[in-house]
Chains A and B, each alone.
Chain A
């Protein structure tokens, strides 16, 4: 006979299992359907007509969609690079120095994480039009407004991740390097950066995925010539949800999931290493 369920054996209770099932269905059924129907040989997303890859081909042949995808990748790469540098510097600044208003600064730095995206979008739009930021530059400089907007909301994520990692930093490591003859810059390059690498990678992944699938803020800061992938998908959906949109969305889902999984794995590995070092 099975032993009765203990107080914490939630997964052995029928109603909890049912609840879990319902939650998973609601969360993942739409995504699974989206992916499945991207392979559906039908113009409409209602009945299954057989497997095909033609909507992937069609999506590939859609110049507007490809251009939007290229824009998104460019924006994501550039804004991630800038966010990593800026976020790491902010984190080191907050960790290394004591100055008046430090706590306030730390709070203000993290503000873009909590401010509603729609407010960020509106304020960005108002800001760029107020200062007359040029919007008719050649590619990729026409993306500059979007890149700046993306950096402003993604660098705090890098800073928070790096800051958390710095808490575990043994200052004697930096002092030892200095004692052995290293200059401030050499200490930073040879000791701090290697220590922070997992944090930088994880923060960067976060910034990359945030930038890649951001819609709201991008929508407010993009012009007719600077359409990104999510904005393009939105405009396609306004007419009808074709399997082509499904195919494009599937590609985006795969890219985002892979990136996030990599970031999580990096952090996990850093945690395991830190535990080994402590033990």
Chain B
């Protein structure tokens, strides 16, 4: 999605964060490996990946809590690569919230201002304001051990925001909350970000969190950035197998590219009885190995072959059914010795009988715009 840049639209503001060739090596192990990344002003940016992918290390290098072994970090146009954490215009909300247990809530929030030499009264006034902002007005005199987990997180947010940082960094901000509160906090974080207008960079291993909150997401694996894109693009147009597999649920079918022209890729796969045709812009060399990534909810399931049968239609039998409340997942066997194909169907009606049951013969079909063929 680099269309905007190619059309020559003038860049009004320089990016708030520019990361170039950034690496962090611990001995022979690269936690972060040659990462390039730009984050625009006012973005809600998410670093998403499995644990150990280097996303937290990257965040800590933005905060200055780790120093890079290679490459550079520029924040608001200034090289910050080797500047320690206490002299960077960024603040962080820690995974454990790290609320100082021996200080009152108000003292916690005012701490960052006090060490900056802000006068006592002014510091407390601004701290009260920040507490209002996170809906903790009047909680100032309380001790942290009198607060719930969610409230402690708000204290951590207020404490970081009160310093008016150029970037707010959040390390797994919702992981310590229970499921209901987590969902509510997603909205609140997005609203908060919009109202304060500060760039947020959030680290998460939870794809739902990233998809629902972020304006752009960088998916990381093994210290490298796999893809940077807005949520919908990431989901619909993954660029690598890893991204397709990590974001949401997907059927990955290995095959061979037979033809690739005019935006149409034709592929054969041992798991599928017929060749598949997929519309996509990026072509692939004929004869190359490709993986068809097919989202389970984009596959149609029917007992009779569809009208335009033949194209992207395969037959199989239902082997397993997983009921999840809102959807049911049908695991369909197409060919012996090949993995089952997952198909999800929304449970729209409160039906007691499923349309299909174990052992039923079914036809699966999908349109050429539904899948993506990936090279790696």
**A residues in contact (CB < 8 Å) with B:** 170, 172-173, 175-183, 186, 190-191, 194-195, 273, 276-277
Contacts and interface: CB of A to CB of B under 8 A. Distances in A.
B327 to A, nearest CB: 38
B356 interface: no
B85 interface: yes
Contact of A181 (B86, B94, B98): B86
Given A180-B115, A180-B163, A172 B96 contact: yes
B86 A183 contact: yes
- Of the candidates A173, A175, A176, A179, the one having the most CB atoms from chain B within 10 angstroms of its own CB is A179
A170 B84 CA distance: 20
B102 A194 contact: yes
Contacts of B159: 176, 180
Contacts of B90: 179
Given A186-B115, A194-B102, A277-B145, A179 B86 contact: yes
A175 B92 CA distance: 9
B65 A181 contact: no
B95 interface: yes
B237 interface: no
A178 B86 CA distance: 5
B112 interface: yes
Contacts of A172: 94-96, 98
Interface in B54-111: 63-65, 84-87, 90-92, 94-96, 98, 100-102, 111
Contacts of A276: 145
B98 A176 contact: yes
Nearest to B102: A194
B337 interface: no
A277 B269 CA distance: 57
Contacts of B102: 194-195
- Of the candidates B84, B100, B156, the one having the most CB atoms from chain A within 10 angstroms of its own CB is B100
Nearest to A182: B115
B92 A181 contact: no
Contacts of B94: 172, 175-176
A209 B47 CA distance: 55
B100 A175 contact: no
25 contacts: A170-B96, A172-B96, A175-B94, A176-B98, A176-B100, A177-B111, A177-B115, A178-B85, A179-B64, A179-B65, A179-B92, A180-B86, A181-B87, A181-B115, A181-B163, A182-B111, A183-B115, A186-B115, A190-B100, A190-B111, A194-B102, A195-B101, A195-B102, A273-B145, A277-B101
Contacts of A191: 100
Given A179-B65, A194-B100, A273-B145, 7 more contacts: A173-B98, A173-B100, A176-B94, A176-B159, A181-B116, A182-B111, A182-B115
Nearest 8 A-B pairs (CB), nearest first? A180-B112, A176-B98, A172-B98, A194-B102, A172-B94, A181-B115, A178-B85, A182-B115
A175 B66 CA distance: 11
Contact of A180 (B84, B111, B145): B111
B92 A176 contact: yes
Main SS class of interface, A:
helix
A166 to B, nearest CB: 15
A178 B98 contact: no
B163 A178 contact: no
A171 to B, nearest CB: 9
Contacts of B95: 172
Contacts of A182: 86, 111, 115
B9 to A, nearest CB: 35
Interface string B151-188: 00000100110010000000000000000000000000
Contacts of A176: 92, 94, 98, 100, 156, 159
A127 to B, nearest CB: 41
B93 to A, nearest CB: 9
Given A170-B96, A277-B101, A175 B115 contact: no
B86 to A, nearest CB: 5
- Of the candidates B64, B65, B87, the one having the most CB atoms from chain A within 10 angstroms of its own CB is B65
Contact of A177 (B87, B100, B156): B100
A178 B65 contact: yes
Contacts of A195: 101-102
- Of the candidates A176, A276, A277, the one having the most CB atoms from chain B within 10 angstroms of its own CB is A176
B158 to A, nearest CB: 12
Nearest to A193: B102
Given A170-B96, A172-B94, A179 B111 contact: no
A201 B102 CA distance: 16
A178 B94 CA distance: 12
A180 to B, nearest CB: 3
Interface in B121-166: 145, 156, 159-160, 163
